[in-house]
Amino acid sequence: MIQLTSKTLKGPTIQLLADKQSRINSLPTFVKQTKKAKTLWNGKRGSVASRTAFTEIKSKLIGMSVGVELCNYCENNEATDIEHIFPKSKFPNKTFIWENYLLACRTCNTDYKSNKFAIFVPEDSNNRLDVVAQPPTDDSAFINPQTENPLDFFLLNLQRGVFTIHPDLINNPQSRGYLKAGYTLEVLALNTRDALVNARKSAVKYYLDRLERYTKIKASTTVETLEIAIDPLEEIIDNALFDTEKARFLAAVKQEIQTYAHPTVWEELKRQKENLPRTNHLFQQAPEASDW
């Protein structure tokens, strides 16, 4: 999980969301509100105006997350669903709130996150969690990647492909940060789905392989050395200028890195590079990659 870059919606879409939300908020009871939230959400593509608005919402959410259309929770599967971070069954007042949306895959949305959601018990000095059906506050125990940086809560163990609690929090298991990290990992099962763990380990190899290729292309000074450095499936165009071809291959590798799955792995390689001699060496040869 990485923090999403925020984007703003167009005026008509903001208005449409506000109108739908006010229809829910005006109802007198929680039960009526949750019922209405469900009906309005299921029928959100029922009119041309609403379809247009939700097409914009989906495309903005795609632009806010990683370069490809990937789930913002597992970073592994195609993101098919507009997911409510605060579930509408518990927070009907956040059904049509832009800041409550992110793109998730069907597996994360349906099989793991679903309507699970804990809050901190109000004014409880032990920071106990509560999963009541009608939460009295929105003091979330689940990390919200729209407003919080998950990497402040977790550290990815790059060798094992699993998340651990961030070192700043590890010594205080009763702190809100520690509990949020643990609860979010548990709900999304980010460490116990073998496919995800293995994919993260593969992503480490992929990113380092591409970064190494980038440094070799960058260091090449002749067509011969460039030919050895590039992807074996690529060809240098005859008669093209050497510098043009070199720039083209550098840009292609950069794009491969920026659009690959598991962007958290890339973020962690940058963050942990001082402790990883090979990775550090590659970033020293290509310092520009630290900004990707």
Which residues make up the interface to Zn ion (CB under 5 A)?
Answer: 71, 73-74, 77, 105, 108
Q: State how far the Cα of 65 lies from the Cα of 188, in Å rounded to an integer.
A: 18
- Nearest approach, Cβ of residue 25 and Zn ion (Å): 30
Q: State how far the Cα of 53 lies from the Cα of 120, in Å rounded to an integer.
A: 34
Closer to Zn ion by Cβ: residue 24 or 185: 185
- Nearest approach, Cβ of residue 21 and Zn ion (Å): 26
Closer to Zn ion by Cβ: residue 37 or 74: 74
- Nearest approach, Cβ of residue 77 and Zn ion (Å): 5
Picking from 231, 233, 235, 205, the residue whose alpha carbon sits closest to that of residue 216 is 231
Place of tokens 């390689």: 269
- Nearest approach, Cβ of residue 185 and Zn ion (Å): 14
Closer to Zn ion by Cβ: residue 99 or 111: 111
Residues whose CB falls within 8 Å of the CB of residue 287, separated by 6 or more in sequence, listed in order: none
Q: What is the CA radius of gyration of the chain?
A: 22
- Nearest approach, Cβ of residue 35 and Zn ion (Å): 28
Q: Angle, to 10 degrees, between the axis of helix 11-25 and the axis of helix 48-64?
A: 110
Closer to Zn ion by Cβ: residue 70 or 155: 70
Closer to Zn ion by Cβ: residue 156 or 250: 156
Q: State how far the Cα of 177 lies from the Cα of 187, in Å rounded to an integer.
A: 15
